Amino acid sequence: QVQLVESGGGLVQAGGSLRLSCAASGRTFSTYTMGWFRQAPGKEREFVAVISWSGGSTYYADSVKGRFTISRDNAKNTVYLQMNSLKPEDTEVYYCAAGRIGMSTLPNHYSYWGQGTQVTFSS
């Protein structure tokens, strides 16, 4: 069992930055691929980024490539999502997820999910 808790969301202005964190419980965190997804009201959950168990491989959605960076610290059981040059369309609830089916972009390949953290634009 892995429990995930996201934090770091909040209000941001266009061009601003946020760093999301996802803290995991359990001693098996380092064996899981970790992903970040996001979801807007009434829409399907969308892939954002994924990182391998070792941190050696990452992959991003085209919509965030060059602006977002995923990283992990296995000693701290934490995965991060650094978000720069934020745009209004990035306003969604962000979820982290843990899975063991490689570098998947599909939500149903992940076994464990956090409760989400909201990123909201301030005009």
Please check the confidence at residue 123 and state whether its pLDDT lies above 80: no
pLDDT digits (tens, 9 = 90+) for 54-109: 999 999 999 999 999 999 999 999 999 999 999 999 999 999 999 999 999 999 99
Please check the confidence at residue 44 and state whether its pLDDT lies above 90: yes
Backbone torsion region of residue 10, taken as left when φ is above 0, otherwise alpha when ψ lies between -120 and 50, otherwise beta: left
| C-alpha span between 111 and 27 (Å, rounded) | 16
